[in-house]
Structure 1
Amino acid sequence: MKNVKSFPFLFILLFLFIGCDKDDDDSKTETKADLIADKNWVLTGHTFQENNGPVEDEFVNYEVCEKDDIYRFAKNGTYEVNAGATKCASTDPQIYDQGTWSITGDNLMINEAGSSSGDSFTIVELTKSKLVLSSTESYQGTTDIEVVTFSKQ
């Protein structure tokens, strides 16, 4: 009779043991490309700084129709920018920018379709819900730093 009473306990232990899988997706380390790809990103911040001067908030100057644009980076290395729910002009195309992207180390390279050169951004911060990119350009003795922040939609 003692064996019959312990059967449910053994069954529960067996169920728990089988249900635990060491290969859970949560334990895998996601690459930067995994964190960026196949998600909808919306621009939530944009700053500009010239020659170590004050940091200027450029995002406050964006039109409402620009603030809902959706940036999507596909796993196959292509990207597109969708005008979102609010277009700036009704005749504007829904997809207004597209091209290819790649990551090398902490650098995100964006190549717009039809362009012979690309734009390189430093990945400052990257989580499952936030992407912060920085771009530094020097020209004729002036150094400009732009930082853009995206949030996962």
Structure 2
Amino acid sequence: MQRHSLIALSLLLTGALGACKKDKTETKQDLLVGKNWQVSAATVEYTGAQAGKEDTYAAMQACEKDNYLRFNSNKTLEVNEGKNVCLDSEQMAMGTWDINADQTKIYINAPELGNSAAAQTDIVELSSSKLVLRNVVVQPDETATFTTTFTAQ
């Protein structure tokens, strides 16, 4: 009888402990990695001498709209032209990326994107399907806020 009680108790504990497993919380880095991030919206807002807002996505060429970024787990970044390659562009270029400790900023170093040094960009929003980045450039007579939305493909 005591043996059956011990077996029942061990099964009960095994089931209870198994049910207490914590779900793994995905970090922002986990959400970034392994997806093709394609631009789906882009704006620049100016304050100061030339105040206003511009839809820069609308001004992009069709061959630019299918470009995507791919963040790899080894901190390399692929800048890919997609199916419609623009004239005088390589199909793919490489760069590097990193994320800060509190996962609010991403550092991108990719010559193809015009960065000769790592550009620091704020992560405004990040989910498994959407990435919104913001970069603020302050000049003496105006401030430009660039906001780019990417959709995971």
The TM-score with structure 2 as length reference comes to: 0.78
Whether the aligned pair in 1 keeps the contact of 2:44 and 2:144 (CA below 8 Å) is: yes
Alignment partners' CA distance in 1, 2:147 and 2:42: 6
Residue in structure 1 matching 2:94, options 84, 91, 98: 98
Question: 2:152 corresponds to which residue?
Answer: 152
Identity of aligned residues (%): 36
SS at match of 1:88: coil
CA RMSD after TM alignment: 2.4
Distance in 1 separating the partners of 2:71 and 2:108: 10
**Distance in 2 of aligned mates of 1:50 and 1:103:** 27
The unaligned stretches of length 5 or more in structure 2 are: 1-11
Alignment map for 1:71-90 (pairs within 5 Å): 71-89=69-87
Which residue does 1:67 correspond to in 2? 65
Q: Distance in 1 between matches of 2:64 and 2:107?
A: 22
| Whole-Å separation in 2 of the counterparts to 1:70 and 1:62 | 14
Q: Which sits farther off after the overlay, 109-118 or 28-37?
A: 109-118
Q: What pairs with 1:3-82 in structure 2 (closer than 5 Å)?
A: 23=21, 27-51=23-47, 53-82=51-80
Does the aligned pair in 2 maintain the 1:50–1:142 contact within 8 Å?
yes
| Partner Cα separation in structure 1 for residue 116 and residue 83 of structure 2 | 31
Q: Name the amino acid aligned to 2:55.
A: D
How many residues align? The count is 134
Structure 1: how far apart are the matches of 2:64 and 2:105? 25
Q: Structure 1: which 4+ aligned runs deviate by more than 3 Å? A: 20-24, 113-116
**Pair 1:130-2:130 in alignment:** yes
**CA positional deviation for 1:92:** 3.0
Deviation of 1:55 (Å): 2.2
Q: CA deviation at 1:103?
A: 0.6
Distance in structure 2 (CA, Å) of the matches to 1:64 and 1:150: 16
